Amino acid sequence: MVRAIIGARVSVWTPGKTSVEEQSLIGEAYASTRGWEIAGNFEDIDVSAIDVDPWSRPDLAPWLTERLGEWDAIIFTKIDRAFRSIRDSVKFAEWAKDNRKILVFTDDSIALDYRESNGSGGYDQVMAELFLFLGAFFAQIEGRRFQQRALDAHRALRKTNRWSGGQPPYGYQVISNGEGGKILAIDPVSSEAVRYAAKLLTQNEGKSLWEIARALEEAGFPTPSRHVTNNQGPDSRSRRKTEVSDKWNQSSIGKILRSHACMGLKLTGRSIKARTITRDDNGLPIRMADPLFTEEEWATIQETLDARARTKERSHGASPLLGIAYCWGCKDRLYRVVNTTKGKKYAYIRCVPKAGKPKCEGCTFKDEEVMRNFEEAVAIDLRNVPVMARRFIPGEDHTHELDAIVKAMKDVREEKDLGLYDYPGGEDEYKQRLTSLAAARKTLSDLPYSPSKWVEEPTGETYAQAYFRMSPEERRTLIINAGIKFYVRPAGSPWEYALVTPDTATAGLQAFGFTWDEADQGDPTAVVPTPEFVELTIPES
């Protein structure tokens, strides 16, 4: 009994098309009429026969290696379903001869039986091999034509606002264009998720990307993979092998909020890192859809993400004074240590040794007293210092357009340096873009304009008012973001006391002479230094 496996392959699968099912049915019918046993089926979906040889295809490859002994015949409907390369067809035929297999191409009426020991079937088999190789030759030519037509179509689409295919950026959906083709439009569900994430990032003190991820899950917003599955359906073949997760992660949120696709701009590139803004013949960005944010909102989002990238300060589970309390001697931060002696916990703020720096002697202070000193300093010296908020004032002219053109000229030159215009007509296209951009820059430069700017405005609260209404984590974030540091030293020579005003950069705060009778390192006989004088520094506004 001959054991047959039935093969199907399509380069691009789209919902509604039945090509894969038809290939399988034809192969099964062929095997049935000859009384062969069907040992299995394989389906390579979205696999190009031009780019991927039979031994590299996800579904076929196992049958050619570890499952080789489970079948005798392999059935395809047409040669181009198996090969679009003469080299692959010759190599596969030689492989079949070495392994004594039967090759069948039903619609091309080709059957090669290599089960004989010498692999020779006479004149008929020689002719069948000739037709196989000729068929692969024409399939290769046809495949190259498909590729060239696709490249030409994509090249033409690149300079338009039409969508060329694939998964749309999160926040958008693909819709039909009244003039033909597809375009992008704002998706009512995913766009709200993007805007909500941006709001959480930038409002008040702003949430971390980790906190935003949890908030999106709690609000019920679908992840990008879930959103695609919900819209394409669970039976979408292009998504069958893609893992769908309902868990948001920080990386995805950061990539979405960083992408210029949020502003409706067209991007080109195979990977997220390689994607660049697509430009028209004049070198200006192509807008595919309405933006999700205003220019001011976009600038705020990027600035916030940049600041987060530079900030390494721990916020979850940290000591309330971490990053706030500093040693007066070495100017390094103080750390909280907790020791337990006879079941009792002793918490201290202390100067610790580091590589190349010993700890400052006598700089170990009781945690609760340093905290009380600090909060008294806030209550006294920050009672009149206003909390400032940044507000964006947009320019009333062509500042953004001029900046965009200058950046476009830089990008065009970089593209030239990378050799991206190295094709017939590319040099002329480069010169045309640069000339158009230079002319537009001159026109805008001749116009009067006022630049956009950020201004600091009081929120109506002082730091003292804000501090004492907040939670412990919010208090620490408030002080750290303001750049305020609390320097502590043991009792010694007096430090000049000065009140804090919005115009002062540094002010001293006299503490109230606490003498601690509880021990460093939990030793009840030791004497802990008194933090008699401290200094509170406030950066200039």
Residues 14-25, mean pLDDT to the nearest whole number: 76
Contact yes or no for 112/100 (Cβ under 8 A): no
Residue 434 or 148, more confident: 434
Q: What is the rounded CA–CA span in Å between residue 535 and residue 537?
A: 6
State yes or no: pLDDT of 504 exceeds 50.
no
Contact yes or no for 299/392 (Cβ under 8 A): yes
State yes or no: pLDDT of 525 exceeds 70.
no
Q: What is the rounded CA–CA span in Å between residue 76 and residue 61?
A: 15
State yes or no: pLDDT of 498 exceeds 50.
no
* Structure tokens belonging to residue 96: 């079949």
Q: What is the rounded CA–CA span in Å between residue 51 and residue 35?
A: 35
Residue-wise pLDDT tens digits, 475-495: 888 888 888 888 887 755 333
Give the pLDDT of residue 121: 60
End-to-end CA distance of the chain: 88
Give the pLDDT of residue 26: 92
* Structure tokens belonging to residue 488: 């502590």
Which residues make beta-bridge pairs with 273?
none
Residue 161 — pLDDT band, cuts 50, 70, 90? low
CA angle 256, 258, 259 (to 5 degrees): 70
Instruction: CATH number for 3-149: choose from 3.40.50.1390, 3.40.50.2300, 3.90.230.10, 3.30.70.270.
Output: 3.40.50.1390
Quote the DSSP letter at residue 167.
P
Q: Which of 130-139, 191-200, 289-298, 425-434 has the lowest mean pLDDT?
A: 130-139
Give the pLDDT of residue 509: 34
Give the pLDDT of residue 256: 92
Residue-wise pLDDT tens digits, 318-338: 688 888 888 888 888 888 888
* Structure tokens belonging to residue 497: 């006391």
Helix (H, G, I), strand (E, B) or coil at 217: helix
Residue type, 534: V
State yes or no: pLDDT of 195 exceeds 90.
yes
CA distances from residue 4 to 62, 117, 313, 395 in whole angstroms, order as listed: 15, 20, 63, 72
Which residues make beta-bridge pairs with 76?
105
Give the pLDDT of residue 71: 93
CATH placement of domain 161-311: 3.90.1750.20
Give the pLDDT of residue 511: 33
Contact yes or no for 310/317 (Cβ under 8 A): no
The distance of Cα 279 from the centroid of its chain, to the nearest Å, equals 22
Residues 159-182, mean pLDDT to the nearest whole number: 77
State yes or no: pLDDT of 237 exceeds 80.
no
Residue 356 — pLDDT band, cuts 50, 70, 90? confident
* Structure tokens belonging to residue 160: 């338009």
Residues 75-79, mean pLDDT to the nearest whole number: 90
Percentage of the chain beyond pLDDT 90 is 15
Instruction: Please count the other Cβ atoms lying within 10 Å of the Cβ belonging to residue 431.
Output: 12
* Structure tokens belonging to residue 84: 């679009």
Residue-wise pLDDT tens digits, 212-223: 998 899 888 999
Give the pLDDT of residue 318: 66
Instruction: Please count the other Cβ atoms lying within 10 Å of the Cβ belonging to residue 94.
Output: 12
Give the pLDDT of residue 120: 54
Give the pLDDT of residue 36: 93
State yes or no: pLDDT of 521 exceeds 70.
no
CA angle 452, 453, 455 (to 5 degrees): 150
Residue 6 — pLDDT band, cuts 50, 70, 90? very high
* DSSP annotation string for 218-230: HHTPPPHHHHHHH
- Reference 125, options 148, 97, 153; nearest CA is 97
Residues 372-392, mean pLDDT to the nearest whole number: 84
Give the pLDDT of residue 399: 66
Mean of per-residue pLDDT scores for the chain: 78
Residues 278-283, mean pLDDT to the nearest whole number: 72
Give the pLDDT of residue 155: 60
Residue type, 375: E
State yes or no: pLDDT of 270 exceeds 50.
yes
pTM of the model as a whole: 0.43
